[in-house]
Amino acid sequence: MWGGWADEAKTTPWEADTITNVWSTTKTMTALSALIAIDRGIVDPNEKVATYWPEFAAEGKQDIEVRHIMSHTSGVSGWAMPVTLDNVLDDEDATSRLAAQAPWWEPGSASGYHALNQGHLVGEVIRRADGRGLKQFFAEEVAGPLGADFTIGSPPENHDRISPVIAPPPLQLPPDLDMDGVMFKTFAAPPAEASMSYSDAWKAATIGAANGHGNARSVATVQAAVSNGGEAKGVRLASADTLERIFEAQSDGPDLVLGLPFRFGLGYALPGPNDPAGFTEGRVCYWGGWGGSIIVNDLDNRISVAYMMNRMQDGLLGNDTSLALCDAYRTSIR
């Protein structure tokens, strides 16, 4: 289903093939790419990141494992300052900076949301292990075989179909925020602005945490492989056993960056008694994006539910609409 307007002035209808920047819903595409690499034996989630990316061992990061960067528990949730958006858009510069810095907390001890850099971390492991960058790996191994209209970044031929996001209210950080704390350092370097997604430089970059472009149909088309044991549209991307590894809990408690309790598995959030999205039980995994987009994979019922939009609302994960849709979904399957 689709509807509404593709522009803030409400002059252009949202069409079947309209796409938009889905922010952190992109992380689920990066996670699935990593799971495919794991399934094929290219990457081991329990192996050290430095095994694939030797430079990453610097400054005490030699014991960080692939599972840690997939589950936001690596201690490297952002870039050490000073860093600019231009640095982030330059993949070689961005990954070199991450390799050279020290972790901000003991790896594996807690989650701290890797807001903008998770795709750089996971993508570099894939590139070192496979030879293809994240953007190419995803296009050739996921979107291409499924015929899914989703890209990490966006090629120029798609730009006329992109609906620019409409900025939400300014992000409200706690008034007593510690300027030396993990939350501030993650969100301040560089500070996120919705308008940064408008530039051609953003669209051309490989930001596996935030610059995926698609719509609800294409997101659900891809993630249906998760909710259906590794297969979608008659195409097998990974084994059911590998997809079950999503439910190997890596952390469970207050997130150092988001300030809310999350239970993270291998690449996705998992149900828990205090889950902010209301998922308390079952083989469900999910994640969403800044302003409201969300994708829910329900492996018990073999259903994926996606909501993507251009009008961003307040909040880093989910908005009033997407959370209401989650409630409606839970009610419908009881």
Q: Output the tens digit of pLDDT for each of the chain's 334 residues.
A: 999 999 999 999 999 999 999 999 999 999 999 999 999 999 999 999 999 999 999 999 999 999 999 999 999 999 999 999 999 999 999 999 999 999 999 999 999 999 999 999 999 999 999 999 999 999 999 999 999 999 999 999 999 999 999 999 887 778 888 989 999 999 999 999 999 999 999 999 999 999 999 999 999 999 999 999 999 999 999 999 999 999 999 999 999 999 999 999 999 999 999 999 999 999 999 999 999 999 999 999 999 999 999 999 987 777 889 999 999 999 999 8
Is the residue at 197 inside a domain? yes
In a domain, residue 12? The reply is no
Task: Tell me if 185 is assigned to some domain.
Answer: yes
Question: 151-152 and 212-214 as β-strands: parallel, antiparallel, unpaired?
Answer: antiparallel
Total domains present in the chain: 1
Model pLDDT, residue 174: 81
Q: Does any domain span residue 328?
A: yes
The per-residue pLDDT for 316 is 75
Torsion of CA 96, 269, 115, 206, to 10 degrees: 60
User: Is 13 inside any structural domain?
Assistant: no
Instruction: Report the CATH number at residue 149.
Output: 3.40.710.10
Quote the CA–CA distance of 274 and 187 in Å, as a whole number.
24
Structural domain that includes position 137: 20-153+180-332
Q: Is residue 169 part of a domain?
A: no
Tell me if 5 is assigned to some domain: no
How many Cβ atoms from other residues are within 10 Å of residue 159's Cβ?
Answer: 12
Give domain status of residue 173, yes or no.
Answer: no
Identify the pLDDT of residue 314.
87
